Structures are given as C-alpha cells and as structure tokens.
Amino acid sequence: MNANTLSRPLKSRRSSGLRGTALVPGDKSISHRALIFGALAVGQTEITGLLEAEDVLNTAEAMRAFGATVVRKGTGVWSVKGRGVGGWAEPSDVLDFGNSGTGSRLVMGAMATSPITAVFTGDASLRVRPMARVLDPLTEFGATYTARERGLMPVTVSGAKQPICVDHHVAVASAQVKSALLLAALNAPGRSRIAQSALTRDHTEKMLAAFGAEISVEPLDQGEAVFLTGEVELKPCAVDVPRDPSSAAFAMVAALIVSGSDIRIPAVLLNPRRTGLITTLIEMGGHILIENERESGGEKIGDLVVRSSALKGIEVPPERAPSMIDEYPILGVAAAFAEGRTVMRGLEELRVKESDRLAAIAAGLKANGLTTSETHDSLAIEGRGPDGVPGGARVATHMDHRIAMSFLAMGLASKEAVSVDDTAMIATSFPEFEKLMRDLGADFQQVNS
C-alpha cells in the first residue's frame, strides 16, 4: 500500500450466523516464490491461482525490473519467462516492495550472488522492519550492502562478483531468512548448508526440488539442515497455487465465534508447517472438519467445514509458533471468546512484523474489554466466553493488514461494534476480504474518519 493512501476506517457489528462458501485467495508465500523461481528458471513457467494482491504484484514488477518477462493472462493466470540463475539484469530504478517483507527479503537473496546492484525500498511500515537479519548472512556469500542503522530500508545490495558457498546457522526461526539464503546459494559454486533450530515453512525447499535443484534436508535436533548445490540450471515448472490458510483464518475464526455459523472453505493449503492455527482451534474445541484431502503441486490441500463452537482457553506450545506466526492476531480474537485463559508463548517474531504485532494485539484486546498480560515473547488472554466480549472500541491498526482483519472479525460477535482506523492496507494480502465476509453475512459498515 502506498504510504500516502487515504485511510479507510470500517466498523463491524454483531452478526447472525455466517453461512456459505468462502473462496479465499491463493497462498501469498507460494505466489511470491512462483514468480521468483520462474524468473530464475530457463524457459517459461505457467502459474495458476496466483494471489493478485499488492504484495505479490510488487514482486512481479521487481521480476520485470531484473529482466524476466512476466505476463498476466487472466485472473490468477500468469506466465514468467526467466533469465536463468545468475542471469538477472541490473534494475534501472529503485525497487518498491510496498508492504512486503517476504518479497523484498527473498529477492535480496535471489540477486545476492549475481554481479549486479539493486536498491530496495517500501512503504512506511516496511522501512522500519529489520533487514540486517537477511543482509548480514548474505555477505558471507560475498555480497555487500549499505543501509540505514540496523539495516533499515532504503537498502542498496551489490551482489557478489565471485560468490562462495556457505555453512550458515540461521539464528531466528524465520522462513524468509532461510529462503533468502537458499536462493543466494543457487549461484554459489559448491554445496551450501543452511541450518535452523526450528522447523519453519518449507515452500522454498519443495519448489526448488520441483524446479530441478539439487537439494536435500537432514534433521537437526529440533530443526533441520538444508543442503543445496549451486550453479544449477532451474527448469520451468507449472505451479498451481493453493488457497492461503492465513487468509482462511479470518473466516474460520469468525465462523467459530458467531453463533449459528456454518461455512465451507475449499482447497486450502494444508502443509503441516502452516496448520498450527487449525490444530490450536481444534484443541480449543472448535468444530473444524477437513474433507476431500488431496495433493496439488506437491502440497496437501483440503476443504474446511467450520461451525460455531464453544471454545475453551488453552496453553499454545511455543514450538508451534513458526507454523502459525501470521495467525496470532486472529487467534487472540478466538481466545477472547473462549472460556478461561489462553497463553501463547514463543512470539518474539511478532515484534518485527508489519507492526509490533504482539503489542497491537494486546492493545486492541484491552481496548475492547479484555484482560491481557504481555511479556517480550508471550501473551496471556482471559477469555470472556461466547457472549461476554464488550467490544465498542476503535482499534489502531498501525498499517497492519492482519490486525485490521482480526478486529473486524471480533466485532461480528462482540456486544458492541468494533471499528478499525484503516482498512486500505488489507489490499496488500487479501483484497477480496470485505466482499467475501459480507457475502457470508458479516455486518460491515463504513465510518467517518
């Protein structure tokens, strides 16, 4: 979202049962990777189901800037003619990634072992997100960079003229950092080893294998080590993007907390490293059925059937955090309507998302009558039960799309309406959100700013 876009407040009111089919958009993580891998392959990659949200469109524009031919053929249908690993051209202008940490960080990695220079920037939110966690390990390959303090954008990255392979342990549980290093390793001679102490999203590894990379994975304590042989030629691969479980989360929780709800969410990605929220909601007593499980493009997908449920508070194990890191805002809303206390731990990554998401969740819940306690990496919420959440507040979103969507879901079941100060940024990941929720029966109303 352009930082100059006018704010668009919205309010949600208590609704009767949500019903119908929720066709959520394509997975954002896989959409970014499909475009980038297509640009790194030799030949033409065909993509269906691509998420056409601002974050992904900015990645598509960046791939054009590096010399790939990127063509939209229809709704969600795209083709990418790549330049090959190490074959990207130098962009002639600054690359603006808007609100996307995923797109910017992965592209930094993909260009870091080619002898070209690129300048990265984004909106006001992205310009305060830490990039040194990616940039510093990329220098081990031979890349260099200049940036503001702590690696903040705008960032200029100069790729290695003579890249070398690396053996690197990623200090944070971040799929973005791991993926950036794997993409850099593609053009580094020899075999690189990228290790982590936690299991994070593995879409990059799966897609690398599908595009013909020489890649293997070995278990390592609670995490794993990924081995990748560089100087490889990637082959184009058809990619059918499954529906995004992070987007499905909002309709799913709304259906659980709004009495009388019964919805279906078809063809959702069910990669085990993305289903932490589903597991947690079922443990809380949520009625969530998975039907018609199948495989698509190497990823497991299925249809979710969700009905309103009496939820109970639980302790969410910290090792589950990487599999649901984007879903904690909406889990906070589910916890508000549960009976008893919900405790979430291992949340330090939420401090460096589009906003300080942990602080934003706690502040929004408190404003709407909930009792919470917060530490640097945990949040405890005292649930008020299915009919006990007061609501009535206006929530500061801090330009964070997931905070906006989560608290709009809260207002559908709280006693008083809940409003958010801005919804314009929702277009970065889920432009269909408002219409999709209205079609299910959500009562959303515009408010004066």
Catalytic positions are: 326
Residue whose C-alpha is closest to residue 332's, from 276, 402, 438, 406: 406
What tokens appear for 179 in the block?
Answer: 């993926």
CA proximity to 46, closest of 69, 29, 28, 24: 69
Partners of 72 in beta bridges: 78
The per-residue b/e assignment along 137-166, b for 16 or more CB within 10 angstroms, e otherwise, is bbebbbbebebeeebebebebbbbeebebb
Q: Is there a cis peptide before residue 236, judged by omega within 30 degrees of 0?
A: no
CB atoms within 10 A of CB 329: 29
Single out the residue of 85, 107, 112 nearest to residue 95, CA to CA.
Answer: 107
Calculate the alpha carbon distances from 358 to 55, 281, 329, 379 in Å: 22, 19, 8, 8
Distances 13 to 37, 139, 333 between C-alpha atoms, Å = 43, 51, 15
Which secondary structure element, helix H or strand E, spans residue 410, and what is its range? helix 401-411
CA 159, distance to chain mean position in Å, is 26
DSSP state letter for 90: P
Cα distances from 171 to residues 159, 187, 306, in angstroms, run 22, 23, 37
Locate all alpha helices (DSSP H) within 202-241, ordered by sequence: 203-210
Helical residues (DSSP H) of 166-316, grouped into ranges? 175-185, 203-210, 245-257, 276-283
Helix (H) or strand (E) holding 114: none
Pick the closest to residue 29 from 271, 364, 288, 318 (CA basis).
Answer: 271
Distance CA 67, CA 13 (A): 48
